[in-house]
């Protein structure tokens, strides 16, 4: 009887796991302790920490259903105090035509410059970042060339005009150590933005530059970054300037890998002439 009970319990446990065989649970915990100029004491912060599910299921006729459901989790606050935030959540269909996605999605314009970011805590202080609701997105790759486009019928992109639709797209080239990308976003009939990103990554180093004409304001922003690794340690830097407002951002970071998916780092930042020193811990799972 006990043996039959054990088998029944095991079956009850493994059945849901089998049903989720094509779904992966994942997450990221990123916290830091910071001392900021002109602010007394230290602060404990969570930076884009998240939990999520992602995966795919094979369908008929060579099609694949794809999905992603992700929530931001501020692990230093209570959930009722804003600990949970909306991130990407979408369902898609992939085949020989590429992939289409529907839901809440980070815009292609926002990710075209990811390859030029080398510091851990990228808060998009100078460059534009958008995550939009009600997105219809298309993604494909032709050899070394990738394309992505998104359209929001109701104009729900952050910073957009809700009475207008939003078009957003990018094209990039990635082959060996070289990366180049071009992004475009049109928030309203008169406000548009463009990004150009270039990066070169060797075996233990990388450099990149990003130019943007910001949507809405038309401000011109330039960011230059780089990283050099030696063993488990690395040093990285990111330097940016808004030419029109003269706001500058400087980050210098030293980090060390503690094992698979986990690292510790020290960062010095100067943003708009306010400096901070920060110790951080990142754990990917």
Q: Would you list the domain boundaries of the chain?
A: 25-284
% of the chain with per-residue pLDDT over 70: 86
Q: How far is it, in rounded angstroms, from Cα 229 to Cα 248?
A: 26
Q: Which residue has the higher pLDDT, 157 or 285?
A: 285
For residues 122, 127, 132 and 136, what is the CA-based torsion angle, rounded to 10 degrees? -110
Q: Write down the pLDDT at residue 14.
A: 40
Q: Write down the pLDDT at residue 164.
A: 63
Q: Write down the pLDDT at residue 7.
A: 34
In degrees, to the nearest 5, what angle opens at C-alpha 85 toward C-alphas 82 and 91?
160
Q: Which residues, in sequence order, are bridge partners of residue 220?
A: 213
Q: Is the pLDDT of residue 143 over 80?
A: yes
Residue 66 structure tokens:
């794809």
Over residues 11-51, the pLDDT tens digits come to: 444 445 444 458 999 999 999 999 999 888 999 999 999 99
Q: Is the pLDDT of residue 1 over 50?
A: no
Q: Stretch 142-147: mean pLDDT, rounded? A: 98
Looking at the domain that runs over 25-284, which CATH code has it been given? 2.40.160.10
Q: Write down the pLDDT at residue 92.
A: 98
pTM for this entry = 0.84
Q: Which residues, in sequence order, are bridge partners of residue 149?
A: 138, 169
Confidence of residue 242 (pLDDT cuts 50, 70, 90): very high
In degrees, to the nearest 5, what angle opens at C-alpha 53 toward C-alphas 32 and 102?
110
Residue 74 structure tokens:
């501020």
Residue by residue, DSSP assigns 188-237 as SSS-EEEEEEEEEE-SSEEEEEEEEE-TTT--EEEEEEEEEEETTEEEEE
Q: Which residue has the higher pLDDT, 107 or 160?
A: 107
User: Among 145-154, 188-197, 230-239, 243-252, which is the least confidently predicted range?
Assistant: 188-197
Long-range CB contacts for residues 197-202, cutoff 8 Å, separation at least 24: 197/112, 197/113, 197/115, 197/116, 197/172, 198/116, 199/115, 199/116, 201/115, 201/177, 202/177
């Amino acid at each position: 009887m006990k043996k039959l009970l054990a088998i029944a319990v095991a079956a009850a446990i493994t059945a849901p796991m089998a049903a989720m065989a094509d779904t992966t649970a994942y997450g990221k915990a990123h916290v830091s302790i910071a001392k900021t100029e002109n602010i007394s004491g230290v602060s404990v912060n969570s930076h884009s920490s998240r939990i999520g599910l992602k995966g795919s299921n094979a369908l008929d006729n060579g099609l694949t259903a794809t999905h992603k459901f992700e929530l931001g989790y501020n692990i230093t606050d209570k959930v009722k105090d804003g600990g949970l935030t909306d991130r990407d959540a979408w369902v898609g269909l992939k085949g020989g035509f590429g992939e289409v996605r529907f839901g809440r999605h980070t815009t292609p314009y926002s990710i075209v410059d990811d390859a030029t970011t080398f510091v851990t805590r990228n808060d998009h202080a100078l460059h534009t970042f958008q995550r939009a609701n009600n997105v219809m997105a298309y993604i494909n790759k032709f050899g070394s060339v990738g394309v992505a486009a998104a359209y929001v019928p109701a104009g729900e992109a952050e910073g957009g005009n809700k009475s207008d639709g939003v078009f957003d797209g990018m094209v990039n080239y990635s082959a060996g150590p070289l990366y180049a990308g071009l992004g475009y976003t049109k928030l309203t009939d008169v406000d548009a933005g463009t990004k150009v990103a270039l990066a070169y990554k060797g075996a233990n180093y990388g450099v990149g530059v990003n130019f943007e004409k910001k949507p809405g304001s038309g401000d011109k922003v330039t960011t230059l970054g780089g990283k050099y690794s030696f063993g488990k340690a690395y040093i990285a830097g990111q330097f940016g300037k808004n030419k029109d407002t003269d706001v500058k951002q400087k980050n210098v970071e030293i980090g060390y890998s503690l094992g698979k998916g986990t690292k510790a780092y020290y960062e010095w930042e100067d943003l708009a002439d306010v400096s901070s020193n920060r110790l951080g811990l990142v754990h990917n799972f």
